[in-house]
Structure 1
Amino acid sequence: MSKLTPKQELFIQEYMKDLNATQAAKRAGYSEKTAYRTGADLLKKPQILARIDEMKAERAKRNQIDADWVLQNFIKVAQMSMKAEPVMTFDYESKEMVESGEYQFDSAGANKALENIGKHIGFFDNKHKLTEAQIEKIKAETELTKERIKLLKGGKGDTALIAHVAELFKAMNKGDGDGN
């Protein structure tokens, strides 16, 4: 691995403050006019990325933050955000806060926490995307269902289309490997 220059090391130190490559480049002494591009270029260098990763790992260890801690706190935020909290108003007669009878729910907080939990556990990884064959199978099943509904409703649909879709469906089931 090649050695970092003092200016690159300063860039890394500045970058770790706010994770803003443009501002870090400026603070490290790179040209203000080209700081955006310079910051982006520096973040593509393997030796700089390795040093940043090393510093992030040190910081996480120092602050006792790991993946379990992050996930546990996402769960807490989601649970707190999904509670219906009573809206409080000031009662001038009793001179205290009282429930108004209305409730609020932090849907934005709940959605963001749930999204982060999903990302954290890999729910949105590519392995959960449908393959082209699965999409085609769903389309064929949908067409077959539509035609069956027409027949059940007494419509005089084209039975040749039903036969064609049924054959396509059977062919796709033979090719999916699980016999369904």
Structure 2
Amino acid sequence: MARSGKEPSNKTKERYDLFVDCYLQTFNATQSAIKVGYSQKTARQQGHKLLTNAYIKEKIQLEMKRLRDRMKDEGLRSFSMLLDIAMQTEGKIQAHNEAEIAIDKIKSELSDLELEMLKANNDLEKVQKAADAIDGRKKEMRSHKRSLLEQIDSIKKEYFEMNLERVVLLNELSKHQSRYLDAKEWEKLQNLKKSIFQDILDRGGFKAIDQIQHSGKVDVNPLANLSEEELRRLANGPRTT
């Protein structure tokens, strides 16, 4: 898998690797961010941001693929299928995290742009009012009125361009919002992912139970009795018509 962008330093890679190791044991980005040194206050935001990092995404996908291949090699087909579902779920969560960052950025840009548009509109009203007050038929006022009319054209052109930029940003926002999960949906997918991985790791014996940090009790798995098809439907969400 090819990565784009600047290659992280060895020291940064060590930090990223520690984050990935912790994340693959807890499936909790916030806890993993705290593990690598972020404060309680910034850990949630930084954890989600780290999950969008190209190096970390590739590392997680590679480790998941290794685990899946190991399951296939050992004949654990059902676990392998569950891992596929969990990875689909992880993909949805990753897309949400990326969308959340992009949405915040676009909203900030829109806010700045709309302030500029408001200022331009106010300037237009002032210049238009000044131009309307001048009798352009008088020779001594023609040049001044012409100058004001040129300003009006310039402001209108600038406003038009800003409005086009606003439309582009709104389209971008809509695209990212389609991948954004509401709090309930996000929590549902997180619980699904944790439950599947917990079940895989515990029952598959890939890690000792006491080496895994669980979000709940080992013997409590609300998804244990669901079929693979039911889990897949849950991961994919409701069908749209």
Instruction: Give the TM-score taking structure 2 as reference length.
Output: 0.31
Q: Which has the higher strand share?
A: 1
Larger radius of gyration: 1
TM-score by length of structure 1 reads 0.40
